[in-house]
Amino acid sequence: MNLKGDKMRFENKVVLVTGGAQGIGKEIAYSFAKEKAKVVIFDVNEEILNLTVKELSAYSQTIGFIVDVTDFESVEKNVNKIIDKFGRLDILVNNAGITKDNLLLRLSSDDWDKVLAVNLKGVFNCSKATAKYMVKQRYGKIINISSIIGVIGNAGQVNYAASKAGIIGFTKSLAKELGSRNINVNAVAPGYIKTAMTEKLPQAIKEKMLNTIALGRFGEASDVASAVLFLASSGADYITGQLLVVDGGLI
């Protein structure tokens, strides 16, 4: 067994993580950096992005760009910068996402549009800009971050659920388009993950949520990152067009 290969599955691979400056995206970027990948982060928060790049640079070469994933021209321009710098792009993790929750009858058209633009159009823009290089390489891994809400739905989140369900259909379709070019396209659907937001919930609400999870705990960002790294690894070379649910056995 090649132990070095097991520990450094992504050494010298070039990885792009959108929305990678904080939360689950940061944990994904950090996990790749620990395995010596060359990490590129797209984010809209310059201050947090700079801090994350500095932190991850202690593990591996990391750079960041201020990019609004809803703007195709900005996405394409910065993907081209990645190619200019590294000569290739091996892995794309479409993680950038937002929520604008409200019941349908109170949900504004603007909040519908914003969520669909970031969560779904952002996946389209980043996949389109990177796929042409992966096709030339005849190699690539695209992992899209969906959500369990895109599978089961949730009151007050019709916009978010629609965007995350859309990602699943997008993933399955793109996998069929790119499979002949040795490009794998998969999605990960996190369940209830421990975040700053869930930590602030009242204890009664947290207990109610926990009662729906077979493993009896909220997930960690590292649980999602582990699933992403698996799908990006050679161990998942014969897996494409799939949705990997990471929800602790949500009932």
Catalytic residue from among 30, 133, 160, 192: 160
Q: How far apart are CA 160 and CA 116, in angstroms?
A: 7
Q: How far apart are CA 6 and CA 228, in angstroms?
A: 16
For residue 4, the one-letter residue type is K
Residue 81: is it exposed, middle or buried by C-beta count within 10 angstroms (0-12/13-18/19+)? middle
**Residue 160 known to be catalytic:** yes
Q: Cα torsion for 117, 123, 128, 132, to the nearest 10°?
A: 160
Q: How far apart are CA 184 and CA 239, in angstroms?
A: 7
Catalytic residues: 160
